[in-house]
């Protein structure tokens, strides 16, 4: 994937001066052996940190090795000041993890490390210093278990590094009556994100400047290859290619100090009459490259998509939590075949923005809603440009990062699946099934005032996304509570 960081992970062992340093060192060596065997390369810092001078030496070694993510490993109790100073001074995401005691053959005297205790002091000192750190759900483990925990930290670190180097570029303002997609800037800055807000007129000017661009034919050829038999409206491809080049060039010219880019762009109602197409297919293509383009100037939707790309390593999409499943489709194709009630299901939809790799039999079509309003009595022209089809069945994670109107960061996560059932509808669309969706819809999405857009990662990524949210300091994280676990506002008599 383009547009996301490559994580180079390093590990530094720490040791309390009243414990043998060799214990932390030997345990670190075993962790690295297990990690390399199962997951890949890891930089092993040769200095074991026992005091502040060791900390500075280790920091220099870690930085010189080019590490952008760090594991602080308590092989024994650990020096709480030096180990947390290392985390504070390191410019990147940090994980804390500790060693479980090894088999002792009935003699737990010289080989005892007490890292179980040391993690408590480390966490307390991190809080005193205001240092963010990733700590696994149970952060004590054998070398193989710690290696697995480190592997689970990688997608979290990738997202945190990405957000700290991300610029969201928007072209707006939002369409009328889309205030739900509000975007208070403060929490963007708190996450480390830069924001550049532009007028739709700026975009139009840049688009016109790309007329006749010599690269257009090659982009059209790539679109034709991607669409194959689904290339139903070939005449619109040159204008779509011109628009794609406009966005890519804008991203490159406007990154500034940042390495990564996401877009949140206006796409109606004046877009069609002025640009002469709908931008959905181009949005899908850029998202497929790793550059999310959120519809309807949904800035936090773009941020959500970007996190999903970093965590999953795959393209994502942004969908409306759109409509309930008709009872006849449910009774004929879902009931008795899948373990879901009709309230567990809904249709996720957008006009045509989902990458083609996740659509069954993708076809270039026209935006039906726009056509009704803009060209009701003619063949589709300015309403062309959607990529449509039912979304492929499989596991998904539906989630969103959002700032409230009073600038509090919150989010939600729900894992589920897209069912292998025809939607009998239009757009990029699928029948989604999430356990206890009806209650989640009422007591998280409605109760917490979330907008209708949700990001979709293709796979079960809830664990990593939740870890990103907590790393960022989020305390209000909604999820689909299982039956028997009530929401605070749920009526016990209903």
Nearest alpha carbon to residue 282 among 337, 320, 226, 321: 226
Residues 377 and 265 in one domain: yes
Burial class (CB in 10 A: 0-12, 13-18, 19+), 182: middle
Give the count of domains, the chain: 2
pLDDT at residue 105, as a whole number: 55
Considering the domain architecture, whether residues 415 and 300 belong to the same structural domain is answered as yes
The per-residue pLDDT for 371 is 75
192 with 131, same domain? no
Do 216 and 153 share a domain, yes or no? no
- Residue at which a domain ends, from 163, 195, 219: 163
- What are the angstrom distances between the C-alpha of 351 and each of 165, 323, 363, 368? 30, 14, 12, 8
Q: Is residue 117 part of a domain?
A: yes
Residue 38 near residue 147, CB atoms below 8 Å: yes
Examine the domain organization and report whether 406 and 458 are in the same domain. yes
Question: pLDDT by residue (tens digit) across 367-392?
Answer: 888 878 788 888 888 889 999 999 99
Residues 443, 324, single domain; the answer is: yes
Using an 8 Å Cβ cutoff, are 130 and 93 in contact?
Answer: no
d(CA 98, CA 24): 10
243: closest CA among 226, 270, 265, 269? 265
Task: For residue 80, give every residue at least 6 positions away whose Cβ sits within 8 Å of its Cβ, in sequence order, or none.
Answer: 118, 121, 122, 124, 125
The edge-to-edge listing of strands for the beta sheet with 194-199 is 194-199, 166-172, 260-265, 293-295
38-44, long-range: CB < 8 A, 24+ apart: 38/144, 38/147, 38/148, 38/151, 39/147, 39/148, 39/150, 39/151, 39/154, 42/9, 42/10, 42/11, 42/71, 42/150, 43/8, 43/9, 43/10, 43/11, 43/67, 44/10, 44/11
Give pLDDT < 50 ranges for the chain: none
Same domain, residue pair 238 and 267: yes
User: Are 301 and 153 contained in the same domain?
Assistant: no
SS3 assignment, position 98:
strand
128 and 212 part of one domain = no
pTM for the whole structure: 0.95
SS (H, E, C) 59-94: HHHHHHCCCCEEEEEECCCCCHHHHHHHHHHCCCCE
Hey, is 345 helix, strand or coil?
strand
Which residues are within 8 A (CB) of 70 and not within 5 positions of it... i.e. 6 or more apart? 9, 10, 11, 12, 62, 86, 87, 90, 92, 93, 94, 95
Predicted local distance difference test score (pLDDT) of residue 107: 59
Q: Which residue has the tokens 């290619």?
A: 241
Please give the Cα distance from 287 to 301 (Å, whole number). 12
Asked whether residue 486 is domain-assigned, the answer is: no
Whether the Cβ atoms of residue 296 and residue 181 lie closer than 8 Å to each other? yes
Domain that holds residue 303: 167-479
Domain end point (choices 163, 189, 213): 163
- Note every long-range contact of 183-187, with CB atoms under 8 Å and residues 24 or more positions apart, other chains counting: 183/264, 183/297, 183/298, 183/299, 183/300, 183/403, 184/403, 184/404, 184/405, 184/406, 184/407, 186/403, 186/407, 187/403, 187/407, 187/408, 187/409
Query: 134 with 25, same domain?
Result: yes
CA dist list (Å): 55 to 64, 67, 89: 14, 15, 9
Residue 485 domain-assigned (yes or no): no
Residues 121 and 142 in one domain: yes
* Residue 26 located in a structural domain: yes
* Interacting residues of 75 by C-beta distance below 8 A, sequence separation 6+: 13, 14, 15, 23, 24, 25, 26, 27, 28, 48, 98, 99, 113, 115
Q: Among the three residues 163, 191, 207, which one is the final residue of a domain in this structure? A: 163
Judge whether 4 lies within some domain. Answer: no
Strand partners, 163: none
Q: Is residue 234 part of a domain?
A: yes
Task: Establish if 484 belongs to a structural domain.
Answer: no
The reply to whether 391 and 283 lie within a common domain is: yes
Phi-psi region of 36 (alpha: psi -120 to 50; beta: other; left: phi over 0): alpha
Instruction: Answer whether residue 489 is part of any domain.
Output: no
**What is the CATH number for 52?**
3.40.50.10940
């Amino acid at each position: 994937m383009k547009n996301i960081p490559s994580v180079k992970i390093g590990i530094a062992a720490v040791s309390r001066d009243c414990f043998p340093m060799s214990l932390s060192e030997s345990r670190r060596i075993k962790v690295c052996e297990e990690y390399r065997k199962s997951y890949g390369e890891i930089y092993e810092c040769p200095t074991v940190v026992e005091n502040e001078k060791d900390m500075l030496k280790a920091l220099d070694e870690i930085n010189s090795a080019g590490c952008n993510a760090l594991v602080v490993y308590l092989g024994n109790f650990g020096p709480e000041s030096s180990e947390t100073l290392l985390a504070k001074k390191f410019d990147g995401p940090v994980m804390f993890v500790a060693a479980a005691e090894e088999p002792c053959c009935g003699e737990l005297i010289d080989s005892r490390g007490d890292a179980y205790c040391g993690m408590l002091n480390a966490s307390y000192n991190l809080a005193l210093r205001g240092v963010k750190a990733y700590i696994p759900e149970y952060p004590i483990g054998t070398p193989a278990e710690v290696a697995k925990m480190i592997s689970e930290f990688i997608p979290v670190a990738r997202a945190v590094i990405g957000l700290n180097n991300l610029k969201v570029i928007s072209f707006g303002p939002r369409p009328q009556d889309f205030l739900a997609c509000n975007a208070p800037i403060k929490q963007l800055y708190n996450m480390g994100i830069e924001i550049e807000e532009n007028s739709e007129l700026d975009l139009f000017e840049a688009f016109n400047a790309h007329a006749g661009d010599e690269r257009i034919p090659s982009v059209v050829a790539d679109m034709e290859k991607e669409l194959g038999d689904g290339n139903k409206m070939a005449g619109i491809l040159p204008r779509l290619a011109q628009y794609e080049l406009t966005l890519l060039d804008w991203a490159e010219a406007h990154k500034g100090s940042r390495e990564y880019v996401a877009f949140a762009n206006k796409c109606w109602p004046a877009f069609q009459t002025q640009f002469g197409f709908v931008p959905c297919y181009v949005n899908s293509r850029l998202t497929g490259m790793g550059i999310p383009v959120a519809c309807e100037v949904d800035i936090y939707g773009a941020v959500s998509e970007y996190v999903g790309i970093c965590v999953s390593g795959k393209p994502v999409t942004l969908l409306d939590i759109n409509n309930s499943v008709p009872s006849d489709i449910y009774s004929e194709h879902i009931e008795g075949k899948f373990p879901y009630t009709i309230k567990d299901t809904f249709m996720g939809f957008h006009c045509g923005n989902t990458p083609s790799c996740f659509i069954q039999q993708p076809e270039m079509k026209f935006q039906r809603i726009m056509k009704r309003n803009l060209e009701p009595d003619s063949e589709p022209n300015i309403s062309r440009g959607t990529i449509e089809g039912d979304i492929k069945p499989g596991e998904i994670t539906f989630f969103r990062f959002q700032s409230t109107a009073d600038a509090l960061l919150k989010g939600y996560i729900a894992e589920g699946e897209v069912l292998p059932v025809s939607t009998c509808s239009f757009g990029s669309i699928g029948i989604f099934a999430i356990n206890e969706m009806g209650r989640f819809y009422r007591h998280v999405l409605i109760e917490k005032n979330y907008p209708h857009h949700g990001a979709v990662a293709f796979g079960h990524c809830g664990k990593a996304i939740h870890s990103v949210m907590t790393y960022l300091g989020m305390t209000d994280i909604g999820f689909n509570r299982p039956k028997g676990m009530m929401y605070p506002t749920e009526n016990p008599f209903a």
